[in-house]
Every structure is written in C-alpha cells, then in structure tokens.
Amino acid sequence: MAEDDPMGDEPRDEALARALDVAPLDELTRRRLVGAALAARQETTITPAIDAPPVPRGNRRARILGIAAAAVAFVVLGVAALALPRDDTTQVAGRPTEASGPLAAADASAAPSAPDAGTSSRTAQDGGTAASAAPSGASEQVTAALPDLGRLGDLSAAGSRERVVAAAEPAVEGTTPQRWAFTFQTCPPRTLTVVATGLGSIGGDPVFVTVARRDDGTLRVRAIDGTTCELRPLP
C-alpha cells in the first residue's frame, strides 16, 4: 500500500485516518461473526450432497429426526415454563399442552402460517410491561401480548429477511418492545428485547426468529440457530 507510488498517489491523510479509525471488535463479536460465516459456508457445501447416495440419505434422516427431537424439546420446555401470548390479553403460566401437536409436526419446509405456533418457551422476564399487566392473583410468571409470527418456514432463500419484515410490520404496529427471557433447544437462556418472535429454519436447522425495532423505527430481524446457538443472518 504505497504512500507515494509512481502513479503519483496523494499520500494518506493521517488526520483523516485518525478521525476515521474504528475501534476493534470485541473477541466475542468477532468469533460470532466468523462462526456464522463458516457455518454459512458449510451449509453451501453440505446442501448439494444431500441428494448424493448413500451417506446423505442417512444425513437427511438424522436431520429430520433432529428437527423432530428439537420440536419435542420445544414443547417440553414450553410447557415447563409457560405458553405464548395469542392475543392482546395477558396470559398466565401453565398453558395447556395442545400446542404439542402442531409443534411435533413442524419441519424445515413448513410454509409461512398464521401466528399460532407456540413453540419455544418465551417468558416475560422481569417486572416490566408484561408483569405489570398481569391480572390480579395471576401467577408470577406471565406472558404478555407479544406478537407471535408463528412458523415462518424455510428462511434460507434470498429475500427471507424482507419476507419476515413484511409479515411482522402489521403485527407489531404500536407494540412496545419487551424484555424476554427465552429458552431454545440447548441454547443458554438469554434475554432479548423484541417486538415479535417466530420460528423457522435455515438449511434445515431450526431457528428462533426475533424481531426488534431500531431507534429509527425500522425492524431488525435475527435468527438464533437452535443447534449452534449463534445469530444467523437472513438473506
């Protein structure tokens, strides 16, 4: 990177270079970004092999079984914690288990559907909006009226992000962002600030979809991989 090459480049403007300098990323963020890129590459190399006999057949079966097991795990966790909001009323923990039917049938090719899928356990974490809205005498653990986008299907294809945003926009209009503690498959529990959630799959792996609102009002969509627990970008 020559400062003055034979073509007569103007030298680097050191004052501007200092002004434009950007702090290095923290190690965790760097690892996450690199990990997601490597995982994305792995997807592209694995996907064509799925149709090649004989090993990929086993891979596919294992993947389907894995997804089914994941769906069962959702149910167990969901019932253990509590159920999801379906409407604008606050709900009390201990929702019935009928959600297990559709959940067990969930797979990577599920088409976008109406917001009905109560899958992972998503609970109002603290005494914020959700808890304060709890009816008198309700359990301490409550869920609030957070829009559930349901099963969003395969999110691997280009335009998935726009598709989720389009689905979320009418659902979250006027919704206040909420802090949510959630459990998803084997991922460590974490707290998210979101305006809506949903489920989908990327490359056959189940993902938990979060929709957050930026300061400028636009929506940010993220997917958390149920296998690696990493954030996955949507194309």
Partner 1 sequence: MAEDDALARRAAQGDRRALEELLAEHTDRVHAVCRRVLADPEDALDATQEALIAIARGIGGFDGRARFTTWLYRVATNAALDEARRKQRRPRAVEAIDERATSAFRSSGGAAIDERVSTRLDVDAALGSLPEEFRVAVVLRDLADLDYAEIAEVLDIPAGTVRSRISRGRALLHEALGATHADADDPTRESGNRGETDERRSNDG
Residues engaged in binding partner 1 (CB under 8 A):
1-2, 5, 7, 9-10, 12-13, 15-26, 29-34, 36-38, 40-41, 44, 190-194, 210-212, 214-218, 220, 222, 231, 233
Q: From the CB of 121, what's the least distance to partner 1, in Å?
A: 16
- How many angstroms separate the CA atoms of 107 and 101, rounded? 12
Among residues 10 and 51, whose Cβ is nearest to partner 1? Answer: 10
Among residues 1 and 114, whose Cβ is nearest to partner 1? Answer: 1
Among residues 186 and 218, whose Cβ is nearest to partner 1? Answer: 218
Q: From the CB of 24, what's the least distance to partner 1, in Å?
A: 5
Q: From the CB of 50, what's the least distance to partner 1, in Å?
A: 17
Among residues 100 and 123, whose Cβ is nearest to partner 1? Answer: 123
How far is Cα of residue 219 from the mean position of the Cα atoms in its chain? 13
Buried b (16+ CB within 10 A) or exposed e, 9-46: eeeeeeeeeeeeeeeeeeeeeeebeeebeebeeeeeee
Containing H/E element for 24? none
Phi-psi region of 68 (alpha: psi -120 to 50; beta: other; left: phi over 0): alpha
Q: From the CB of 205, what's the least distance to partner 1, in Å?
A: 15
